[in-house]
Amino acid sequence: MNLFTNKELLTAARKGGYAVGAFNINNLEILQAIVSAAESEKSPAIIAVSEGAIQYAGLPYIVSMVQIAARYASVPLSLHLDHGRDLKVIQSCIEHGFTSVMIDGSHLPFDENTAVTRKVVEMAREKGTSVEGELGRLKGIEDKVSVTGQEAFLTDPGSAEEFVKKTGVDALAIAIGTSHGAYKFKGEARLDFERLREIAARVEIPLVLHGASGVPRPILEKAERFGAKLSGAKGIPDEAIQKAISLGICKINIDTDLRLSFVSALREILSTKPEEFDPRKILGPGREAIKETVQSKMRLFGSSGKAG
């Protein structure tokens, strides 16, 4: 198969009432784990690559690996730039065959975010590359912060409507209380579903949830059993993810859960088999652990079985 665009994958998801997972890769093993999970689940998958991943692995390696994976895969995949901020990197990704790019102008004032996002939409048009924009900031919802303080960074529904109209983006990442990483909430997990409902009522394009990892207890406990120090780590409950999908979220970004799965498997091998020094015997279980996690996400997102 050729790579699909996010627009193609997410339009189908919106119609079908499910979400497609966007899973971050940094190396061969993570990519293989995601593709293998997608094939086992008969699910589409978005291969997400951050600017940091490009710096780490190199753009030609990333693109070649993902193109080969897509050519032999029996399920649709897309290649997506996650949190693009540097216009030169974005341009380079478009030229190298990424089928989707994210322009993250969420740290900028509304007008500047709109202008830079509009610019990327124009850059992407010729090749038909999909574009994801972001409005609102991912900082979680904290009990101690005032409601007006929170509103300043959660996505405003009216501004979302205006942003989509003015920029022409294909997908919009919104802030409703999630945040990146393993420490999302101090107390109870809280997401602003009413805000999501209002945004979905005003915005026609697919909506995206970043910072959506669940930080599953069993994975956390395994990592800690073998020496990890992750006290206070907490993610988004599965029920909240399902509710977000029912209210219009079509793309869900997961990185932290893959990192935790990989590292907990590596820690186990390194501490139970200290005589082992074959990288394949160390990285292989890490790859298997990511595959299991990705499969469970695909079932949770409802994308299992949606790739024929």
Options 82, 104, 192, 255, the catalytic residue: 82
- What is the Rg, in whole angstroms, of the alpha carbon atoms belonging to the chain? 19
Binding of ligand G3H by 261 (CB under 6 A):
no
Binding of ligand G3H by 180 (CB under 6 A):
yes
Helices (H) and strands (E) in the chain, counts: 13, 8
Binding of ligand G3H by 53 (CB under 6 A):
yes
Binding of ligand G3H by 24 (CB under 6 A):
yes
20-24 and 100-103 strand pairing: unpaired
User: DSSP label at 26?
Assistant: S
Q: State the Cα–Cα distance between residues 87 and 91, nearest whole angstrom.
A: 6
Least distance in Å: CB of 59 to ligand G3H? 14
Which H/E stretch holds residue 60?
Answer: helix 59-72
Given a contact cutoff of 8 angstroms between Cβ atoms, the answer to whether 301 and 18 are in contact is: yes
Binding of ligand G3H by 58 (CB under 6 A):
no
Given a contact cutoff of 8 angstroms between Cβ atoms, the answer to whether 23 and 34 are in contact is: yes
Identity of the residue, 52 or 305, whose beta carbon is nearer to ligand G3H in the bound complex: 52
Site string for ligand 13P, 141-160 (x = CB under 6 A): --------------------
State both tokens at 285: 């279980």
Least distance in Å: CB of 244 to ligand 13P? 13
Binding of ligand G3H by 293 (CB under 6 A):
no
Binding of ligand 13P by 267 (CB under 6 A):
no
Q: State the Cα–Cα distance between residues 5 and 125, nearest whole angstrom.
A: 12
Answer yes or no: 278 catalytic.
Answer: no
Q: Known catalytic residues? A: 82
| Binding residues vs ligand G3H (CB under 6 A) | 24, 50, 52-53, 82-83, 180, 255
